[in-house]
Amino acid sequence: MTFSIKLLELLKQARGNWVSGESISAMMGISRSAVWKQVRKLREEGYVVEGSPKKGYTLREAPDRLLPGEIQDGLGTRVFGKGEILHFRETSSTNTIAKDLALRGAAEGLLVLAEEQSGGRGRKGREWHSPPDKGIYFSMLLRPRIAPAEAPKMSLLTAVAVAEAMISAAGVNARIKWPNDVLIGGKKVAGILAEVGAEMDEVQYLVIGIGVNVNNTGFPPELRQQATSLHLETGNPFPRLILLKEILARFEALYEEATRKGFNPCMARWRELSDMLGRNIRVEVPGLVHEGLAEGIGQDGSLLLRDGEGKVHKIVAGDVTFIGGIYGQQKPVG
């Protein structure tokens, strides 16, 4: 825990009362001038810390930022968000940074967050719209003991965590579209980009990047048809910090469960949250388009699609649309 996070914790525990510089310095084991430096650091991050030569310091206001001290405050996880957290006012892509740190040996549980991304990356080389302070843009580092073939299930697991967090924290009807898009009312509200570093038989690291549209009140014209945000869906802004903490807690619980019992319980939940199974879909894979019935999810997380001739295709990656309209407004085929 850094000194500024420790100081923040002390000020929060005082619940708006004054804490003398002397007692802070004793509790933190640092000099009075070092305490002052930490106060300055918190102020630079946007905290309103009032100081008085006689009374000491008191916390008046916390900024609406996804700052490490705020994330760790009352976070009910053991690993994710408990270790190193890197927070950027602006960066190109949190996934790129997390991958770089993974290669340098960073530990599982690392979080990289940004308030804005200039080069936010989506699946298939697409761009992820990441305007300042509107969404949650973060990446987590995992070091699971699994074979590379198991890795896609981790992104399905993440989609379950994000959808469940949205349902429980914001009361919205979030659904999953294979493989790992989270939708409300047929429009995309969150996306997941999982990037793996592996040897032939073992995953060395997995970076899972999550982008959630939270307080966006509009989207660029090219996204308007297919994107939505929690604000647009509920009519109100939503505290990003609350949602982020819920995602971390749900993710960790599912991850631990998968480590102990395998992926089956989580895949069952995925099926419940998906509104795609049993419907007619079109899946675009490089150079090919499949149409048919979404029949199920295979053991490895692949999509099982039954075509018009009754043949079942196992699809490991692709883009799904409903036949006859945008996702969620499909018409049956034939």
CA pair distance 136, 86, nearest whole angstrom: 14
Which range binds ligand BTN by CB under 6 A, 42-50, 92-100, 102-110, 238-246? 92-100
Question: Of the listed pieces 7-15, 26-34, 195-203, 206-214, which binds ligand BTN according to CB under 6 A?
Answer: 206-214
**Least distance (Å) from ligand BTN to the CB of residue 12?**
28
Tell me which of 21, 152, 191, 301 binds ligand BTN, using CB under 6 A: 191
**In this complex, which beta carbon is closest to ligand BTN, that of residue 138 or of residue 255?**
138
Question: Which one, 128 or 322, has the nearer CB to ligand BTN?
Answer: 128
Do residues 88 and 115 lie in contact, with contact meaning Cβ atoms separated by under 8 Å? yes
> Which residues inside 111-130 make contact with ligand BTN, applying CB under 6 A?
117, 120-123, 126, 128
Interaction between residue 177 and ligand BTN (CB under 6 A):
no
Closer by beta carbon to ligand BTN, 11 or else 210: 210
DSSP H/E element including 9:
helix 3-13
Buried b (16+ CB within 10 A) or exposed e, 82-118: beebbbbeebebbbbbbbebbeeebebbbbbbbbbbe
What SS3 class is residue 304? strand
**Number of neighbours of residue 265 by Cβ within 10 angstroms:** 14
Under the criterion CB under 6 A, does residue 141 sit at the interface with ligand BTN? no
Token pair, residue 4, equals 């500024």
Q: Residue 266, interface with ligand BTN (CB under 6 A)?
A: no
Binding status of residue 192 toward ligand BTN by CB under 6 A: yes
- Asked whether 166 and 190 are in contact (CB, 8 A), the reply is yes
Nearest distance, CB of residue 120 and ligand BTN, angstroms: 4
Burial class (CB in 10 A: 0-12, 13-18, 19+), 32: exposed
7 lies in the binding site for ligand BTN (CB under 6 A): no
Q: Does 279 bind ligand BTN (CB under 6 A)?
A: no
Q: Which is nearer to ligand BTN, 111 or 258 (CB)?
A: 111
- Which of 57, 80, 137, 255 binds ligand BTN (CB under 6 A)? It is 137
Give the E-state strand segments of 127-222 in sequence order: 136-142, 174-177, 181-184, 187-198, 203-212
Q: Does 93 bind ligand BTN (CB under 6 A)?
A: yes
Q: Does the footprint of ligand BTN cover residue 131 (CB under 6 A)?
A: no
Stretch of 33-41, 49-57, 197-205, 207-215 contacting ligand BTN, by CB under 6 A: 207-215
List the end-to-end C-alpha distance of the chain, in Å, as a whole number: 61
Listed residue (156, 147, 129, 178) closest to 285, CA to CA: 178
Q: Applying CB under 6 A, which part among 8-16, 90-98, 222-230, 297-305 lies near ligand BTN?
A: 90-98
Largest CA distance in the chain: 83
Decide if residue 139 touches ligand BTN (CB under 6 A). yes
Q: Considering only residues 95, 155, 216, 330, which one is a binding residue for ligand BTN as defined by CB under 6 A?
A: 95
Report helix angle 151-170 to 240-261, nearest 10: 140
Smallest gap from Cβ 128 to ligand BTN, in A, equals 4
* Residue of 21, 68, 69, 211 that binds ligand BTN (CB under 6 A): 211
Task: Fill in the amino acid letter for 73.
Answer: D
Q: Which residues of 148-165 are buried (b: 16+ CB within 10 A; e: fewer)?
A: bebbbbbbbbbbbbbbbb
- Binding stretches for ligand BTN (CB under 6 A): 93-95, 117, 120-123, 126, 128, 137-139, 181, 191-193, 209-211
